[in-house]
Amino acid sequence: MVAGEASGDTLGADLIISLKKRYPDAEFVGIGGPKMIAQGFQTWYPMESLSVMGFFEVLKHLPELLKIRRQLIARLLALKPDVFIGIDAPDFNFKVERSLKHQGIKAIHYVGPSVWAWREKRLNKVRESVDGVLVLFPFEPEYYHRYQIPVKFVGHTIANQFPEKPNTDQAKQQLGIAADTQLTAILPGSRMSEINRMADVYIQAAQQLSTIYPQMQFVIPCVHQKAKERVEQAIAEYAKGLKVILLDGQSRLALEACDQAIVTSGTATLECALMKKPLVLAIAVHPISYWIMKRLATTQWIGLPNILAGQELVKELVQENATAQKIALNLAKLVSDTKLRERQITAFTEQYQQLKQNASELAADAIQEWTSS
């Protein structure tokens, strides 16, 4: 098994537990993190060596990454395991999987690449590399069926981390906010490029909302100190006196406490939906990045709640439409329009039930089936 980051380590650890039920004497080796190691996994390299983000960072570490991959492939070919499971990290794992599959070793990939968002043709290469793919979303299998790739929808383990009924009052109490206070969460993103681009716009939108709803308060989880400082700068410039709480991380607490949210595109939109909180999605990226994304995109929506729903359930304000005024107006609609709110919450509840599967058990079932055939 090879996991390249914390989310993969969690998936890997759960999968090891499920596989051990079926194969009590199984041994697990490769690259993994502390959660996998706690389940008896033997890691040959530190997982952190694969956790490299961004084009230039990958370029800088490329010689080391290629060396690790070469050594790993050679070691696995000598070992001849019954099965190799690559967990996410597609750029690293698909090459390993292809090398092993061509030598008769079963290769399975857990967490399908986002072919539903762009570059569906990648599945031609995926077919050559794997004996099966485990996917997280119910709309994904049809893409793999088109390319005759064995596939199994197993659900998204993130759904298990969210309560069936969020306790909004208790979460507000934790923040020192009265239960009847209208609270809006703003999730500005996890990358500094996103935060730099959107912070001023979000704070200006919050300022406009506070004139429409004078009692409204805001909560903003900040991924690190640099992000917090950037948001503070925007507040100082555009919204002195804004009733806002800045949190160090704690995005789940912010989502559970809020009544509605403004979210930059990404996993946060799915987390907001799983917490059953109405939201508006807003995003602006570099014009060149947007041009590339538009050319490669295979879906008309950006947000996962909309992709899951197959319709614009959540308002998406993209590029020139991601203005403070449009964000404020659309969020104000969510506050005042009960039918709109209920439509989102009902759909989010269905999505929560859809994604909350016993993922590791379903994954282990599929692995057992694919490896015995």
Task: Specify if 295 maps to a domain.
Answer: yes
In this structure, are residues 34 and 117 in contact, taking their beta carbons and an 8 Å threshold?
A: no
Query: Do both 213 and 83 map to the same domain?
Result: no
The CA distances from residue 162 to 17, 82, 106, 158, 255, in Å, are: 21, 35, 34, 7, 10
Task: Specify if 163 maps to a domain.
Answer: no
- Beta pairing partners, 246: 220
Q: Per residue in 89-148, pLDDT tens?
A: 888 999 999 999 999 999 999 998 876 555 667 788 899 999 999 999 998 999 999 999
Query: Do both 219 and 322 map to the same domain?
Result: yes
Query: Do both 141 and 97 map to the same domain?
Result: yes
116 closest CA partner among 151, 160, 162, 161? 151
Query: 15 — phi, psi (to 5°)?
Result: -65, -40
The residue ranking higher by pLDDT, 69 or 59, is: 69
Query: Do both 227 and 101 map to the same domain?
Result: no
Task: Name every residue whose Cβ is closer than 8 Å to that of residue 184 and which is 6 or more positions away in sequence.
Answer: 206, 209, 216, 217, 218, 219, 258, 259, 260, 261, 262, 331
- Predicted local distance difference test score (pLDDT) of residue 53: 46
pLDDT at residue 10 is higher than 50: yes
Query: 136 — phi, psi (to 5°)?
Result: -95, -20
Dist. CA 49–CA 255, nearest whole Å: 32
Dist. CA 330–CA 318, nearest whole Å: 13
Query: Do both 8 and 30 map to the same domain?
Result: yes
Query: Do both 212 and 278 map to the same domain?
Result: yes
pLDDT grade, residue 298 (50/70/90)? low
Q: Per residue in 265-283, pLDDT tens?
A: 778 899 999 999 999 999 8
Task: Name every residue whose Cβ is closer than 8 Å to that of residue 139 and which is 6 or more positions away in sequence.
Answer: 116, 307, 308, 310
Dist. CA 130–CA 126, nearest whole Å: 6
Q: Per residue in 144-197, pLDDT tens?
A: 999 999 999 999 888 988 999 999 999 999 999 999 999 999 999 877 878 888
Query: Do both 37 and 50 map to the same domain?
Result: yes
In this structure, are residues 192 and 158 in contact, taking their beta carbons and an 8 Å threshold?
A: no
- Helix extents (H) in the chain: 6-22, 34-38, 55-79, 90-101, 123-129, 141-146, 168-174, 192-212, 225-238, 251-257, 267-274, 287-296, 304-309, 324-336, 338-355, 359-372
Query: Do both 351 and 362 map to the same domain?
Result: no
Identify the domain containing residue 204 by its residue range. 168-355
212 closest CA partner among 313, 331, 294, 321? 331
* Residue 289 tokens, joined: 């990045």
CATH of the domain at 308: 3.40.50.2000
Lowest-confidence segment of 7-21, 53-67, 71-85 by average pLDDT: 53-67
The residue ranking higher by pLDDT, 41 or 223, is: 41
Chain position carrying tokens 């923040």: 175
User: How many residues are present in the chain?
Assistant: 373
pLDDT grade, residue 318 (50/70/90)? confident
In this structure, are residues 137 and 308 in contact, taking their beta carbons and an 8 Å threshold?
A: yes
- Predicted local distance difference test score (pLDDT) of residue 55: 47
Query: Do both 88 and 37 map to the same domain?
Result: yes
Dist. CA 51–CA 338, nearest whole Å: 43
Task: Specify if 161 maps to a domain.
Answer: no
Task: Specify if 160 maps to a domain.
Answer: no
Long-range contacts for 272-275 (Cβ within 8 Å, ≥24 apart)? Answer: 272/185, 272/187, 272/305, 273/304, 273/305, 273/308, 273/314, 273/347, 273/348, 273/351, 273/352, 274/158, 274/159, 274/162, 274/348, 274/351, 274/352, 274/355, 275/162, 275/166
DSSP, collapsed to helix, strand or coil, labels residue 317 as: strand
If you ran DSSP here, which 8-state letter would residue 83 be given?
E
Cβ-based neighbour number of residue 170 at 10 Å: 11
Mean pLDDT of 227-244: 94
Query: Do both 147 and 56 map to the same domain?
Result: yes
Mean pLDDT (the chain, rounded): 90
Query: Do both 197 and 126 map to the same domain?
Result: no
Query: Do both 117 and 241 map to the same domain?
Result: no
pLDDT grade, residue 54 (50/70/90)? very low
Domain count, the chain: 2
